[in-house]
């Protein structure tokens, strides 16, 4: 094996390896796990220190546990040994019947008492290479837990070279992966991009096929997923087909291959408990739906832009300007006043001899015509210069 650069001098100075491995690993079979105040029992919860003992297990040494079914009650669990989880930074507790690897290490009282130690379990032993459970019960009728139920449909995620996969017991997982063009037919994210392009996939609820041996994420059929890409192209299907927007012409989601974050589920909710929800885009913000877009606000709705268009005409921007309400009101009010004055003057006009000028009518008509000229000169001012509709 090739020694990594700059490590050869370190390796050569170590000398002979005098480490003597343990003759036998410590292994135990789990009969109880403390997860709540009543699990496995209230007395056992108190026995391990209450909430300070969450994750503690009750176990028997592997050789001692053969053919012992065990029961989840205080008398039996009192005969078991106790071990705490070794790692404080994450929780991954075994289920009933699983085998755990154990290590005897210092206890909290090591500094103040002689010969004190405590058993810790490192992890469940991957007995069946099964991500859901690796139990080795004493008979086929043994339960895996008080509430845990095995789902036979769940399959392991298919790994690709270099992958780091974290998979839960009931169909959720996180994959740290990359483009793998050689296996483009086995996954949905390797059609474009270089082999060193990273991708992170978070999935909750895999869409398993009954006869498949392993599972690979499927963005359109898995229940909920988040994809963080670099150069990958994802076959995301949306309700909007064809041209998304003829005016802005954005790239279809299934054809985009630059870095992006894709969130896909039956429903997506963004909720800010205290401050704003903010969306920024270098180019456009596209919102598409087959039904209704609602904008609800207890106070105001603001649309701020140099130009606002409502609708399209033959896939073109509308050209009909909106009317300014206050200015239209003033013009209509002036017109009504002029008509009212004209009518009032006509209502009191006195008849003149035949062929003589009707002076009262002439004066009223001249006043109306002047008012109409003034209103016509103001008509252009009632049209918006920024807001247009179809």
**Roughly what angle, to the nearest 10 degrees, separates helices 325-347 and 359-378?**
180
What whole-number distance in Å separates Cα of residue 193 and Cα of residue 258?
9
pLDDT score recorded for residue 107: 86
From CA 95, how far away is CA 79, in angstroms rounded?
Answer: 19
pLDDT of residue 56: 96
CA pair distance 57, 79, nearest whole angstrom:
13
Distance CA 338, CA 344 (A): 10
Q: State pLDDT tens for residues 341-354.
A: 776 776 666 666 66
User: Which residues are 178's β-sheet partners?
Assistant: 198
pLDDT above 80 for 11 = no
Of residues 229 and 90, more confidently modeled: 229
pLDDT digits (tens, 9 = 90+) for 87-137: 999 899 999 999 999 999 988 877 777 667 899 999 999 999 988 899 988
Please compute the mean of the pLDDT values over residues 175-180 and round it to a whole number: 96
pLDDT of residue 3 exceeding 50: no
Look at the alpha carbons of 371, 372, 378, 379 in this order and tell me if their dihedral is positive or negative. Answer: positive
**Is residue 5 predicted with pLDDT exceeding 80?**
no
The pLDDT score that the predictor gives to residue 24 is 62
Q: Evaluate if residue 18 carries a pLDDT over 50.
A: no
Per mean pLDDT, which range of 95-99, 274-278, 377-381 is the poorest?
377-381
Calpha distance 201→224 (Å, rounded): 11
Q: How many Cα neighbours within 13 Å face the side chain of 364?
A: 18
How much is the pLDDT for 357? Answer: 58
Higher pLDDT, 237 or 317: 237
pLDDT tens per residue, range 40-98: 999 999 999 999 999 999 999 999 998 899 999 999 999 999 999 999 998 999 999 99
Task: Supply the pLDDT for residue 349.
Answer: 62
The residue that leads in pLDDT, 214 or 112, is 214
User: Three-state SS across the chain?
Assistant: CCCCCCCHHHHHHHCCCCCCCCCCCEEEEEEEECCECCECCHHHHHHCCHHHHCCCEEEEECCCCCCCCCCCCHHHHCCCEEEEECCCCCCCCCCCCEEEEEEEEECCCCCCCCCCEEEEEEEECCCCCCCCCCECCCCCCCCCCCCCCCCCCCCEECCCCCCEEEECCCCEEEEEEECCHHHCCCCCCCCCCCCCCEEEEEEECCCCCCCCCEECCCCCCCCEEEEECCCCCCCCCCCCCCCCCCCCCCCCHHHCCCCCEEEECCCCCCCCCCCCCCCCCCCCCCCCCCCCCCCCCCCCCCCCCCCEEECCECCECCCEEEECHHHHHHHHHHHHHHHHHHHHHHHCCCCCCCCCCCHHHHHHHHHHHHHHHHHHHHHHHHEEEEEEEC
Q: What percent of the chain has pLDDT over 90?
A: 50
Per-residue pLDDT reduced to its tens digit, 318-371: 888 888 888 887 878 788 787 877 767 766 666 666 655 566 677 777 777 777
Q: What percent of the chain has pLDDT over 70?
A: 88
Q: What is the pLDDT of residue 235?
A: 96
Residue 252, pLDDT > 50, answer yes
Instruction: Return the structure tokens found at 338.
Output: 């002029």
Mean pLDDT of 157-174: 94
> How many CA atoms within 13 Å lie on the side-chain side of 325?
0
pLDDT computed for residue 197 by the predictor: 95
Domains of the chain: 24-124 (2.40.50), 151-269 (no CATH), 322-389 (no CATH)
Rounded average pLDDT over 208-226:
93
Q: Please compute the mean of the pLDDT values over residues 306-317 and round it to a whole number.
A: 86
Rounded to an integer, what distance in angstroms lies between the CA atom of residue 373 and that of residue 181? 75
Contact 205, 186 (CB under 8 A): no
Residue 168 CA to residue 278 CA, distance in Å, equals 32
How far apart, in Å, do the first and last CA atoms of the chain sit? Answer: 73
Query: How confident is the prediction for the chain on average, in pLDDT?
Result: 85
Per mean pLDDT, which range of 12-16, 66-70, 202-206, 210-214 is the poorest? 12-16
- Tell me what pLDDT residue 274 has: 95
């Amino acid at each position: 094996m090739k020694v990594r650069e700059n490590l050869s001098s370190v390796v050569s100075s170590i000398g002979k390896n005098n480490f003597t491995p343990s003759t036998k690993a410590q292994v135990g079979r789990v009969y109880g796990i403390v997860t709540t105040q009543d699990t496995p029992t209230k007395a056992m919860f108190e026995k391990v220190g209450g909430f300070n003992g969450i994750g503690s297990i009750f176990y028997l040494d592997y050789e001692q546990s053969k053919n012992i079914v065990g029961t989840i009650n205080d008398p039996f669990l009192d005969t078991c040994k106790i071990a705490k989880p070794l790692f404080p930074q994450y929780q991954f507790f075994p289920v009933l019947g699983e085998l755990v690897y154990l290590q005897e290490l210092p206890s909290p009282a090591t500094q103040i008492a002689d010969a004190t130690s405590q058993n810790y379990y490192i992890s469940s032993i991957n007995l069946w290479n099964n991500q859901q459970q690796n139990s080795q019960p004493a008979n086929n009728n043994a339960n895996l837990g008080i509430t845990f139920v095995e789902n036979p449909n769940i399959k392991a995620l298919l790994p690709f070279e270099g992958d780091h996969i974290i998979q839960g017991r009931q169909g959720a997982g996180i994959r740290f992966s990359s483009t793998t063009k050689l296996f483009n037919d086995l996954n949905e994210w390797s059609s474009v991009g270089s082999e060193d392009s990273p991708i992170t996939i978070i999935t909750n609820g895999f869409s398993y096929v009954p006869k498949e041996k392993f599972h690979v994420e499927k963005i359109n059929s898995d229940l909920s997923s988040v994809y963080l890409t670099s150069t990958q192209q994802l076959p995301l299907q949306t309700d909007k087909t064809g041209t998304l927007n003829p005016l802005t012409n954005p790239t279809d989601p299934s054809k985009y291959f630059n870095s992006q974050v894709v969130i896909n589920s039956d429903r997506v909710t963004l909720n800010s408990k205290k401050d704003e929800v903010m969306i920024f885009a270098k180019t456009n913000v596209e919102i598409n739906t087959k039904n209704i877009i609602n904008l609800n606000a207890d106070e105001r709705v603001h649309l701020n832009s140099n130009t606002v268009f409502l609708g399209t005409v033959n896939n073109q921007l509308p050209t009909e300007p909106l009317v300014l309400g206050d200015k239209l009101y003033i013009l209509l009010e002036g017109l009504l006043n002029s008509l009212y004055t004209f009518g009032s003057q006509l209502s009191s006009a006195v008849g003149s001899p035949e062929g003589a000028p009707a002076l009262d009518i002439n004066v009223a008509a001249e006043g109306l015509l002047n008012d109409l000229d003034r209103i016509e000169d103001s008509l252009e001012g009632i049209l918006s210069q920024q807001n247009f509709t179809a």
